Structure 1
Amino acid sequence: MTEAVIFLLLGIAAYFDWKCRKIPNTVTFPALAAGLVYQWQAGMGWTAVAGVAGAFLLTVVPVVLRGMGMGDQKLLMAVGAWVGWSGVYPLFLHSLWVCLAVVVFLPGTWRRLGRNMHAIFAGWVAHRKIWLPRNKEAALSFPYAVPLLGAYLVQHLWR
């Protein structure tokens, strides 16, 4: 059941992230709460709490640096509530590999990344542009829920 819920959650989130570039709280918060309740009743409450806390800690730096949105963070926390730390950590690592593959295969990302790398050497103004860009101007601006869904599917194909 857990796998079906996570697949549905990631599928819905990927759709919204792809279309609107925003994952609604009406998707993430109920999933997070349901995961905590489900795991608590299964006697795995602390595992779920560790998954939520671990997902938060994994994503806090990217969110602060605006490399990731808070909707992505809440999505990973919701997944952590369902699978715990031992499930969310490998999923996060695999999603980074999928993100890297997206960067390699999307030349438009190369141009943005190249412009931002060039701007690094231009001083403080460039520093603010790189580390505090608007969402659409970020060096690696793409919907994270899609690579997260891809990583989840890859994990289950390799089992």
Structure 2
Amino acid sequence: MENQSDIPAQDVLIDLVNEKKGIPLTKASVIPVKKSNYNMMTNSNGITIPAKSTLDFPFISVAQLADLLGVKNDDYCLYDASPEPIDMVAKNGGFLESLEHMPPEIQGMQPSTQQVGLRLRIKYQTIFKQTVTNYVMVFAHFTEKGSKGWIWYPSTKKVGPVQCISA
């Protein structure tokens, strides 16, 4: 989560919503998630993200996310990456440098991947006690286990082999 504002975002709460065609997001039901460390930490009050800062925290477990997405087949796994369009990647200096370090036998190999969109409802309170609600689409990515291809990892700004997320 990134707070680009000059003021802190207080009482931040995140819910996974069940988005359905024809139903406004404001009326969408919440998909219950097991008590992750984030949920236990926030209770019902939420957490505060300081001004101009980023905060990473687990919202849902890998196992529960896999169940929600139907990735129950042992041949597939979630992986920790967020593929970006090539024009976005090309703007990043690390992309071309990473390609140079890619083993020749796998250059040009693309893993078979799929992505599933999830809608999050993010609520927070301003210092003026005004509640703000935003809806954000995030994507979970999965691939066949043992895939030989490499992908772009925005978090490290490098190309690397697909690695399954361990629960």
TM bucket, shorter chain: under 0.3
Q: Larger % of strand: which? A: 2
TM-score, normalised via structure 2 length = 0.24
Greater radius of gyration (CA): 2
Q: Which has the higher helix share?
A: 1
